[in-house]
């Protein structure tokens, strides 16, 4: 009977009985079994790395989409939003009838109301062609939404006649090269007065920021119309009561808390469109692929070492000890595979920084993915465990 040195180490641990030596030998045996067949280890790690990258990418896209959808809402002030009935998302705007601002201001507990005009318009490029943009206009000097992440020019320069702010990410789509670039929006000649960075739109339509009055002209609205009214409540006022009072005065509009509207916008795109289904399917595929590949490899590795495991059982090793060895093999695979996969993921995310695709990795997400990788590998080890615990120790003496 021939057994590998790893099996002999395991036999010594089994013969030693319970104690610290047995605890020390289990990781050693698991390590030697795992690294004895480098090809099997390589295949295992490839499966884990693939799963980690795919899971990270799907999760990163989810966080990125969530932040992209809610970006405009997150940059605003105020506790309540007044919006047209039936609005599904912040970037699915339509115009309110008008004069809602004055009705809201008359409600007790309201401190300030700002009009936000948003809508789709036609951007005609300077070298020919056109594209659709999402115009955003507000009076930021009195607390409205203003462009953020400005890297060239300034927000104050948007007060100049016909000035707009565009994002660097969409320069190619808009056919602009930087400050001063000309274009035409819905028949109005405009120039780029400020450049932002990484303000992406989930609909892939570039945001174009400008003043409220200029946006109203671009959207064909009158001076009293807007898409949303942003309501700031006085300190100490009951937000729920103010919301009820505003809703009572505006039966043809909808009044929502900011967090509620944020959740509605995210849920609409992620769970009521194909985008959410694709993300869920991709994440499930990553988990299934990882479990199948790791399970197959661990099972094959365990099958190759059945004689050694049978020897351990014949020498008195318990089923619990053998299970511990297999689980440690899965744990080692998970740690190494996760490290390689996360390094590759961060490199991919770095390369995507200046694209229209917004992918996000946070420490919390990285921790969750680490635990998920370990759980995936432990689950994959079950098939190998079932094979080993059914070994007949007497079979070792028949060879």
- pLDDT tens per residue, range 36-76: 667 777 877 887 888 888 888 888 888 888 888 888 999 98
- Angle in degrees, CA 80, 264, 240, rounded to 5: 30
Which structure tokens are listed for 160? 């100049």
Q: Domain of 135?
A: 86-251
Indicate whether 190 and 128 sit together in one domain. yes
Indicate whether 226 and 286 sit together in one domain. no
Cα dihedral value 219, 97, 264, 137, nearest 10:
30
Indicate whether 197 and 240 sit together in one domain. yes
Ranges of residues in the chain with a pLDDT under 70 are: 1-24, 29-30, 33-34, 36-37, 275-276, 290, 294, 297-298, 301-306, 391-399
Coil, helix or strand for 190?
Answer: strand
- pLDDT tens per residue, range 142-182: 778 889 999 998 898 888 889 999 999 899 999 998 898 99
Q: Whole-angstrom Cα distance, residue 261 to residue 89? A: 8
Q: For 26, how many CA atoms within 13 A lie in the half-sphere containing its CB? A: 20
Indicate whether 147 and 228 sit together in one domain. yes
Q: State the pLDDT at residue 2.
A: 37
Report which of 137, 320, 290 is spatially closest to residue 225, judged by C-alpha positions.
Answer: 137
Residue 120 lies inside a defined structural domain of this protein:
yes
Q: State the pLDDT at residue 14.
A: 44
Residue 5 lies inside a defined structural domain of this protein:
no
Cβ atoms of 33 and 305 closer than 8 Å: yes
Q: Whole-angstrom Cα distance, residue 96 to residue 372? A: 46
Q: Whole-angstrom Cα distance, residue 251 to residue 230? A: 17
Indicate whether 59 and 96 sit together in one domain. no
Residue 245 lies inside a defined structural domain of this protein:
yes
> 317: alpha, beta or left, given left = phi > 0 and alpha = psi -120 to 50?
beta
Q: Whole-angstrom Cα distance, residue 111 to residue 113? A: 7
Among 220, 251, 282, the domain-final residue is: 251
Q: Whole-angstrom Cα distance, residue 219 to residue 213? A: 10
Residue 357 lies inside a defined structural domain of this protein:
yes
Q: State the pLDDT at residue 204.
A: 80
Indicate whether 111 and 247 sit together in one domain. yes
Q: State the pLDDT at residue 7.
A: 45
Q: Which DSSP letter does residue 392 get?
A: -
Cβ-count burial of 42 within 10 angstroms (0-12 exposed, 13-18 middle, 19+ buried)?
exposed
Residue 318 lies inside a defined structural domain of this protein:
yes
Q: Which DSSP letter does residue 312 get?
A: H
Number of domains composing the chain: 2
């Amino acid at each position: 009977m021939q057994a590998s040195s790893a099996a002999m180490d395991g036999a010594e641990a089994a013969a030693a009985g319970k104690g610290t030596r047995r605890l020390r030998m289990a990781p050693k045996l698991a390590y030697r079994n795992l690294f004895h067949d480098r090809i099997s280890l390589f295949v295992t790690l490839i499966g884990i790395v693939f799963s980690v990258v795919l899971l990270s990418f799907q999760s990163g896209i989810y966080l990125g989409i969530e932040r992209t959808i809610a970006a405009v809402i997150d940059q605003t002030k105020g506790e309540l939003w007044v919006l047209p009935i039936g609005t599904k998302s912040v970037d699915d705007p339509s115009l309110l009838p008008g004069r809602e601002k004055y009705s809201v201001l008359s409600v007790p507990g309201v401190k300030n109301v700002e009009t936000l005009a948003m809508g789709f318009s036609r951007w005609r490029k300077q070298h020919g062609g056109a594209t659709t943009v999402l115009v955003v206009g507000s009076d930021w000097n009195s607390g409205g939404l203003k462009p953020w992440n400005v890297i060239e020019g300034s927000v104050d320069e948007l007060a100049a006649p016909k000035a707009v702010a565009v994002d660097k990410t969409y320069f190619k789509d808009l056919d602009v090269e930087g400050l001063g670039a000309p274009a035409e929006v819905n028949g109005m000649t405009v120039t780029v007065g400020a450049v932002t960075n990484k303000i992406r739109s989930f609909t892939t339509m570039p945001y174009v920021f400008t003043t409220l009055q200029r946006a109203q002209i671009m959207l064909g609205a009158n001076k009293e119309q807007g898409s949303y009214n942003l309501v700031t409540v006085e300190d100490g006022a009951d937000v729920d009561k103010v919301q009820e009072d505003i809703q009572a005065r505006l039966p043809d509009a909808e009044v929502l808390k900011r967090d509620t509207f944020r959740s509605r916008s995210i849920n609409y795109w992620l769970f009521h469109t194909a985008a959410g289904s694709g993300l869920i399917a991709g994440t499930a595929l990553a988990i299934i692929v990882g479990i199948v590949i790791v399970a197959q490899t661990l099972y094959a590795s365990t099958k190759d070492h059945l004689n050694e495991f049978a020897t351990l059982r014949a020498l008195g090793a318990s089923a619990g000890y053998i299970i511990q060895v297999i689980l440690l093999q899965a744990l080692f695979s998970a740690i190494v595979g996760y490290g390689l996969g996360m390094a590759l993921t961060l490199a991919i995310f770095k390369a995507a920084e200046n694209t229209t695709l917004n992918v996000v990795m946070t420490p919390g997400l990285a921790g969750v993915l680490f635990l998920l990788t370990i759980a995936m590998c432990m689950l994959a080890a079950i098939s190998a465990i079932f094979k080993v615990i059914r070994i007949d120790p007497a079979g070792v003496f028949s060879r």
